[in-house]
Amino acid sequence: MSRRGVLVTGGAGFIGSHFARLAVEQGRTIVVLDDLSSGTPGCLPASLHLVEGDIGDVAVVKRIVHAHDIGSVVHFAGKLGAEASVRAPEAYFDVNVVRALRLLDTVRELGIRAFLFSSTAAVYGQPDLVPVPETAPLAPLNPCGTSKLAFEHALSAVGAAHGIAWGALRYFNAAGARRDGTLAENHEPETHLVPLALDAALGKRPPIVVFGSDHPTPDGTCVRDFIHVEDLAVAHLRALDAVEVGTTVGPVNLGTGRGHSVREVLATIASVLGRPVPHTFGPRRPGDPPQLVADVRRARAVLGWRATRTSLATMIEDALRARMRRPQFVRTPDIEEIAEKWLCPAETAPDWDAVDQASWESFPASDPPAYP
Ligand code: UDP
């Protein structure tokens, strides 16, 4: 197997940094290219090379590829956020499509034939079928999802034309954090349920507004497939192994296959913290599908991977530990007991050997679902 360098764009972000850390621990040579518009570079290990720059900067990308013998690309860098993308779509198409294409074109010209892309379950819009297979209609509801899907189409076509093995990993709801608390979700502004609800419970933000209690779901609140970010990182390593040996994995859903409602998330946070999550109920958020749960069979078949940290409580405990260890977290007297319990010294690095992923040696050829 090729062990050339891996260019990781967006490797200072939430999912990218978890992947980069894991990949370095697995002995990979990683170079992160990140413009630091939203990432946290301090979280990256010293053994990893960080270049501050733009994915669309051809000269920078060329320099990295030559200097570090890059053989593959894992492309996390991109703009996220459904609502913000409606307000400023041009920025989303610029970063997620135009610059991403320039990156793809640059590395293709340099002979790179393995490319993984961070995609999203938002490409499905409001799916009729739950759990959602990769063959479900692709009907994103906002420029964030549309721009991610546009790049999937481009990658599929460029990959076929030029013999590039590729994968588009469609994340459901990433949550949790590295178990030792050293990497945290750090979006600015924060819009995601788990960090917002943790902050509300810790008195760091106002009560959370639950978007709708009249959805067609068992308890009226939306249902999501929360997946531990460490599981996502492992899935990327499996996909990287595949594209490096020339196997296109195509679009792959990454989730647990199990849904939890917003109410369940708030109840689990309350039970972990031993205090309620202050919340009110508001109207539905436009474009929120009532249920979004992954059909995970394709991931199992083509990556030999499945999520292993599937307990919602574990994801929340890991997210809490990491959230409280962020430099901007202020320890106040009202949370003394919680701080004592969760600001414990960092554990050693996660025991990756315990993860049931290791015995997948070959990647069966599998036709990815066709794009319409
Ligand atoms: N949510 C909510 N209040 C918030 C943020 C999120 O009720 O302040 C709900 C949202 O409607 C969705 C779920 O929590 O059903 C997960 O939302 P998030 O923004 O974390 O991820 P998304 O599913 O939109 O990718």
CA dihedral in degrees (46, 48, 49, 51; nearest 10)? Answer: -90
CA 353 to ligand 1 centroid distance, Å: 33
What pLDDT, on the 0 to 100 scale, is given for residue 184? 76
pLDDT digits (tens, 9 = 90+) for 318-370: 999 999 888 788 889 888 888 888 876 555 444 444 444 433 444 555 666 77
Distance 208 CA to ligand 1 centre (A): 10
Give the pTM: 0.93
Ligand 1 centroid, distance to 189 Cα (angstroms): 14
Please give the pLDDT value at position 345: 59
What would the pLDDT profile of 273-295 be if each residue is shown by its tens digit?
Answer: 999 999 999 999 988 899 999 99
Query: Which residue, judged by its Cα, is nearest atom 2 of ligand 1?
Result: 210
- Pick 359 or 248 by higher pLDDT: 248
Q: Say how many Å lie between the CA of residue 157 and the centre of ligand 1.
A: 33
* pLDDT computed for residue 34 by the predictor: 95
Question: What is the CA(193)–ligand 1 centre distance, in A?
Answer: 5
- Amino acid letter for position 178: R
What's the pLDDT tens digit per position in 4-55? 999 999 999 999 999 999 999 999 999 999 999 887 766 787 878 999 999 9
Burial label, 336 (beta-carbon count in 10 A; 0-12, 13-18, 19+): exposed
Ligand 1 atom nearest 284 alpha carbon: 11
Mean pLDDT for all residues in the chain: 91
**Cα–Cα distance between 362 and 365 in angstroms, integer?**
9
* Residue nearest to ligand 1 atom 5, measured at CA: 193
Question: pLDDT tens for residues 81-134?
Answer: 888 899 999 999 999 999 999 999 999 999 999 999 999 999 999 999 899 999
Looking at residue 294, the DSSP 8-state letter turns out to be B
**Residue 192 CA to ligand 1 centre (angstroms):** 6
Question: What is the percent of the chain with per-residue pLDDT over 70, rounded to a whole number?
Answer: 91
One-character DSSP codes across 63-100: HHHHHTTEEEEEE------HHHHHH-HHHHHIIIIIIH
Closest C-alpha residue for ligand 1 atom 14: 193
Query: Of 70-79, 94-103, 107-116, 185-194, which range is least confident?
Result: 185-194
- How many Å apart are CA 363 and CA 372, to the nearest integer? 25
Whether 296 has a pLDDT exceeding 60, the answer reads yes
CA distance 316 to 151: 32
Helix (H, G, I), strand (E, B) or coil at 170: strand
DSSP string over 94-149? IIIIIIHHHHHHHHHHTT--EEEEEEEGGGG-S-SSSSBPTTS----SSHHHHHHH
What does the pLDDT read at residue 353? 43
Atom 11 of ligand 1, nearest CA residue = 211
Cis peptide before 350 (omega within 30 of 0): no
Residue 315 in tokens: 């994801």
> What pLDDT is attached to residue 243?
97
Looking at ligand 1, which residue's alpha carbon is closest to its atom 21? 192
**Residues with Cβ within 8 Å of residue 239, at least 6 apart in sequence:** 116, 167, 169, 249, 252, 303
More confident residue, 61 or 186: 61
Q: Which domains does the chain have, with CATH numbers?
A: 5-176+228-256 (3.40.50.720), 193-223+258-293+309-346 (3.90.25.10)
pLDDT at residue 371 in the model: 76
Range of lowest pLDDT (136-145, 183-192, 205-214): 183-192
Cβ pair 337, 273 in contact under 8 A: no
- The two tokens of residue 338 are 């919680």
Pocket (CB within 6 angstroms of ligand 1): 173, 191-193, 196, 208-211, 222, 224, 262, 285, 288
